[in-house]
Amino acid sequence: MSKESKSPSALVMKFGGTSVGSPKAIEHITEIVRKCRQEWDRMIIVTSAMAGVTNLLVESAERAIVGDEVFISKAEIELQNKHYSIVEKLVPSSAERAQLKQEIKHLSMEFANLCRAISILGEATPRALDAVVSLGERFSVRLLAGILKSAGFPAQFVEATNIVVTDDCFQAAHPNLEETAKNVQNILIPMLMQKQIPVLTGFIGATKEGITTTLGRGGGDYSAAIIGAALPADEVWIWTDVSGVMTADPRIVEDARTIPELNYREMAELSYFGAKVLHPKAVRPVVEVGIPVRICNTFKPEDEGTRVTKNNEVAPKIKNGARGIVKAVTAIQDQRLITVEGRGMLGVPGVAARTFGAVAATGTSVPLITQASSEQSISFSVPNESAEAVLDSLHIAFATELARRDIDRVWATDEVAIITAVGNGLQHTPGVAGQIFSALGSADVNILAIAQGSSKVAISLIVTAKDTEKAIHTLHQFITG
CA distance 279 to 94: 40
Residue 201's nearest CA partner among 185, 179, 217, 223 is 223
CA angle 305, 310, 315 (to 5 degrees): 80
How many angstroms separate the CA atoms of 32 and 28, rounded? 6
Is 240 a known ligand-binding residue? yes
Nearest-angstrom CA–CA distance, 272 and 460: 11
Per DSSP, the three-state class of 297 is strand
The answer on whether 127 is annotated among ligand-binding residues is: no
Q: Is 14 annotated as a binding residue?
A: yes
Output the CA–CA distances (angstroms, integers) from residue 308 to 14, 42, 182, 265, 463, in the order listed.
15, 21, 27, 9, 29
241 is in an annotated binding site: yes
End-to-end CA distance of the chain: 44
Coil, helix or strand at residue 479: helix
- The candidate with the shortest Cα–Cα distance to 213, out of 161, 156, 280, is 161
* Alpha helix positions (H), 93-134: 94-121, 126-133
35 is in an annotated binding site: no
Q: Is 329 annotated as a binding residue?
A: no
Is residue 410 a contact partner of residue 387, using CB atoms and an 8 Å limit? no
Asked whether residue 321 is marked as a ligand-binding residue, the answer is no
DSSP characters over 348-415: -TTHHHHHHHHHHTTT----EEEE-TTSSEEEEEEEGGGHHHHHHHHHHHTHHHHHHTSS-EEEEEEE
Interior/surface letters 253-283, b for 16+ CB within 10 angstroms, e for the rest: beebebbebbbbbbbbbbbbbbbebbbbbbb
Nearest to 44 by CA among 291, 314, 381: 291
Q: Partners of 449 in the beta sheet?
A: 462
DSSP string, 311-340: --PPPPP-SSS-BTTB-EEEEEEEEEEEEE
Using CA atoms, how far apart are residues 293 and 286, in angstroms rounded to an integer? 8
Residue 137 marked ligand-binding: yes
∠ at Cα 332 (329, 338), nearest 5°? 125
233 neighbors 456 (Cβ within 8 angstroms): no
Phi, psi of 337 (to 5 degrees): -95, 120
Annotated ligand binding at 362? The verdict is: no
Instruction: Report the binding-site residues.
Output: 14-17, 54, 137, 240-241, 251, 276-277
Instruction: Report the binding-site residues for ATP.
Output: 14-17, 240-241, 251, 276-277
Instruction: Report the binding-site residues for substrate.
Output: 54, 137
